[in-house]
Amino acid sequence: MSFEILPPTDDWIFKLLFGDERNQSILINLLSSFLELPQEEYELIFLNTSLKPEAEDDKLGIVDVKVKTKSGKIINIEIQVNPLKNIGKRLSFYKSKLIVEQIGKSELYSTIQRVICICITSYKLFPKVNEYLNSFMFFNPKNGLLFEDIPEEVYIIELPKAPALKGYVEGEYENREKRLIEWLQFLNQGGGRSLK
């Protein structure tokens, strides 16, 4: 009898690992390795991953992992193994839906909470930069002014760029960064092998 070992980046495996509330501590460990959130925020509520269409002919969206923090922030995590031509547009669609879902008719805009989208890629999305973790927010490129009232941010993590911890010198990385690199090395593990 033989069977195939699926990698942690396989959609189904990734959702089992990080999108199941029984594994909440695993998700918290990953998120807290790079997100700047107070520890109390990590009281997570796992949400339905389908994005509600507004009309019958609206495009249906299904995200990989969707949780709400203690204060109401929405976190969406996507795993993307194969290069996708319009990944930025897809993430914009998801972010927009996640914002619109938060507010109903006659509700105040102040009810809208921050939306954090995280996309982990198994390929180099930005080949011209060396950083494996890039974060994006709304700011004026002329003077660096951050528009903090726009409640969305995007993190892109590129697995092929993650540094190796093998042979690292103690103290080379901060404890938090070391934990993130360990997660990325885990996600980088190959799969698709057959065992007999």
pLDDT in tens, 41-61: 999 999 999 887 777 777 778
The whole-model pTM stands at 0.88
Q: What is the pLDDT of residue 196?
A: 46
Q: What is the pLDDT of residue 195?
A: 42
DSSP reduced 3-state for 175: helix
What residues of the chain score a pLDDT lower than 70?
1, 166-173, 190-196
